[in-house]
Amino acid sequence: MNVPALAEAEDLRARVEQAGVRLTAQRRKVLEELSQERDDATAQELHRRLVSRGERLGLATVYRALESFVEAGLVDELSHQATERCYRVCRSDEHHHHLVCSSCHRVVELTDCRVAEWVERAAADLGFTATRHELEVSGLCDECRRAGTRA
């Protein structure tokens, strides 16, 4: 494992410990597999990869592990695929948003949130108090756009 990957693994272990998530052997395998993903993956993709390497765990176990990670704030759940949720171990534990390429599924984190004031103002205008917000923007990354891919 290279030095940056080792540092990320240590950071992830610390985040798991801080979140108080009980890391069973199966959950650890799911989290390790997802953490190797550059962008995002579905539960079915993760399950397929793990089973192809000889791991013995069911698809329901993968879904439950992912749900526990989402609830603990360790993993983000993205909805850019119409039929299934995608999951991502984000590199930042700070508030952020996502740009998602609808062709290659590349995910970029936006850590500079410029919509908070607008959300608070819009909510207040409608009699709401905004307690949190999430933003997922779909489109084409530069590489797919230059290749002439359609969204």
Long-range contacts of 52-58, Cβ-Cβ distance < 8 Å, separation of 24 or more: 55/29, 57/26, 57/29, 57/30
pLDDT band at 122 (very low <50, low <70, confident <90, very high): very high
Report pLDDT for 148: 84
Report pLDDT for 129: 93
The stretch 124-139 carries a mean pLDDT of 88
List pLDDT tens digits, range 70-109. Answer: 998 889 898 876 778 889 887 777 778 888 888 888 888 8
Dist CA 24 CA 108 (whole Å): 30
List pLDDT tens digits, range 29-61. Answer: 999 999 998 888 999 999 999 999 999 999 999
Fold classification of 94-151 is: Dna Ligase; domain 1 (3.30.1490)
H or E segment at 102?
Answer: none
Amino acid at 137: V
Domains of the chain by residue range = 1-92, 94-151
The stretch 107-126 carries a mean pLDDT of 87
Q: Which residues pair with 137 in a beta bridge?
A: 99
Output the CA–CA distances (angstroms, integers) from residue 112 to 49, 76, 95, in the order listed. 34, 17, 9
Of 74, 70, 71, 26, nearest in space to 50 by CA: 26
Dist CA 126 CA 149 (whole Å): 39
Q: What is the DSSP letter of 109?
A: E
Of 40, 63, 56, nearest in space to 138 by CA: 40
Output the CA–CA distances (angstroms, integers) from residue 40 to 56, 87, 122, in the order listed. 22, 5, 31
Domain 1-92 has CATH 1.10.10.10: yes
**Residue 3 predicted with pLDDT over 60:** no
